[in-house]
């Protein structure tokens, strides 16, 4: 975990240290510009040296100096922040166990106003698209923010539908998106097209038989050489597909609402909207999110020899967001799937 120089100075000045830790609290690292930097050290168990397991499982820096004294990455976690001309939007990384467990709740999905402590005081970090053009509908065609907001909200609403499985909801979002991509200036407003598309689309028209394997291939390519341990087990694709069919798929309907909650969370305030070349790229992002949860749930079933339980689902989501939000570069993801959008207009 990187630590800014002022964090190191503050910790040293206040002599913040977890009881029982005798070694260095920070280790030198290099920054992208080859300037000297610091990372928070780990103890013999691999835990952060400031994590006080015996005193309330608290961070010693947070406890002794407050949230504003934390390294930026710690202060923002598990928040994933997007800022554009509409305002500031917060989604959560479900690598956080608490956030992942919340997906199992069956309360209706809704977008809510963020209040402290979820809403941080300035400065906040994330993707700042305040000065960017609105997201692309397709290459060469910009949306307007009202139209894009309508697409985002309609996608989230689709994942709250009780009459659709998570796969059906995902396929309906894909089918509606194709209708929206056909929009041209002069056809009425984009806002109107979005509402008509989601009203009239049929989920069968959005089915994609190759989506799962394509998504795993994409993540494999983006993670090559960058991960280890359990997160590197993406290559077990064929065996996981067998386990999915035999053991996981029959039991997975019990997690259908949780899966739709997860996909709604990844649809909201996602960065691919501004990093990609159109709405298809966002749909591919959502298909990739679903594919990774399915893959990791199958891995856990392979290891345990039994169908997944709620703890397995939570861990599958955690491993998926670890890869998607903390390992791979989302801009690299957008570049990799750009060919799905079709050629740029000439």
On whether the CB atoms of residues 220 and 192 are closer than 8 A, the answer is no
Q: In the predicted model, what is the mean pLDDT of residues 122-136?
A: 93
List pLDDT tens digits, range 284-336.
Answer: 999 999 999 999 999 999 989 999 999 999 999 999 999 999 888 999 999 99
Both 204 and 276 in one domain: the answer is yes
On whether the CB atoms of residues 94 and 262 are closer than 8 A, the answer is yes
Both 258 and 327 in one domain: the answer is yes
| Residue 238 falls inside a structural domain | yes
On whether the CB atoms of residues 328 and 335 are closer than 8 A, the answer is no
pTM, to two decimals: 0.88
Both 26 and 143 in one domain: the answer is no
Phi, psi (deg, nearest 5) at residue 158: -65, -35
Whether pLDDT at 31 is above 80: no
123: CB partners within 8 A, 6+ apart: none
Residue 16 belongs to domain spanning = 2-75
d(CA 252, CA 183): 36
Whether pLDDT at 34 is above 90: no
- Final residue in a domain of this structure, among 41, 75, 109: 75
Closest CA relative to residue 69, chosen from 11, 2, 1: 11
Both 316 and 229 in one domain: the answer is yes
Closest CA relative to residue 290, chosen from 242, 326, 249, 327: 249
| Residue 27 falls inside a structural domain | yes
Whether pLDDT at 232 is above 60: no
pLDDT at 17: 86
107: CB partners within 8 A, 6+ apart: none
Could you tell me how many residues make up the chain? 346
For 104, the enclosing helix (H) or strand (E) is none
Domain count, the chain: 2
- Final residue in a domain of this structure, among 75, 90, 108: 75
- Final residue in a domain of this structure, among 40, 60, 75: 75
Q: How many helices (H) and strands (E) does the chain have?
A: 14, 10
225: CB partners within 8 A, 6+ apart: none
Both 162 and 26 in one domain: the answer is no
Closest CA relative to residue 219, chosen from 273, 161, 269, 293: 293
Both 208 and 321 in one domain: the answer is yes
Tokens coding 83? 């800022």
Both 153 and 271 in one domain: the answer is yes
Whether pLDDT at 33 is above 60: no
Both 47 and 156 in one domain: the answer is no
Query: 231 versus 113: which is more confidently predicted?
Result: 113
């Amino acid at each position: 975990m990187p630590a800014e120089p002022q964090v190191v100075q503050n910790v040293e000045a206040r002599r913040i240290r977890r009881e029982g830790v005798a070694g260095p609290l920070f280790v030198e690292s290099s920054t992208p510009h080859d300037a000297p930097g610091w990372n928070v050290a780990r103890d013999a168990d691999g835990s952060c040296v400031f994590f006080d397991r015996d005193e309330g499982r608290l961070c010693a820096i947070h406890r002794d100096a407050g949230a504003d004294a934390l390294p930026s990455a710690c202060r923002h976690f598990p928040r994933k922040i997007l800022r554009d001309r509409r305002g500031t939007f917060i989604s959560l990384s479900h690598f956080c166990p608490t956030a992942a467990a919340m997906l199992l709740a069956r309360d209706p999905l809704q977008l809510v106003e963020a209040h402290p402590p979820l809403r941080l005081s300035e400065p906040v970090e994330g993707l700042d698209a305040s000065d960017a053009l609105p997201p692309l509908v397709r290459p060469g065609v910009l949306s307007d923010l009202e139209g894009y907001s309508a697409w985002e909200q309609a996608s989230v609403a689709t994942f709250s539908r009780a009459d659709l499985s998570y796969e059906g909801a995902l396929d309906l979002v894909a089918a509606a998106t194709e209708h929206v991509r056909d929009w041209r200036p002069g056809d009425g407003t984009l806002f109107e097209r979005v509402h008509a598309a989601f009203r009239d689309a049929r989920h069968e028209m959005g089915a994609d038989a190759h989506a799962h394997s394509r998504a795993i291939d994409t993540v494999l390519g983006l993670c090559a050489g960058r991960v280890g341990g359990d997160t590197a087990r993406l290559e077990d694709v064929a065996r996981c597909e067998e386990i999915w069919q035999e053991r996981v798929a029959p039991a997975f309907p019990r997690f259908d609402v949780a899966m739709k909650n997860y996909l709604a969370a990844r649809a909201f305030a996602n960065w691919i909207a501004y990093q990609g070349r159109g709405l298809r790229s966002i749909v591919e992002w959502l298909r990739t999110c679903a594919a990774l949860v399915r893959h990791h749930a199958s891995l856990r079933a392979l290891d345990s020899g039994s169908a997944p339980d709620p703890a397995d689902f939570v861990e599958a989501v955690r491993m998926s967001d670890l890869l998607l939000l903390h390992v791979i570069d989302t801009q690299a993801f957008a570049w990799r799937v750009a060919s799905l959008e079709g050629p740029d207009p000439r």
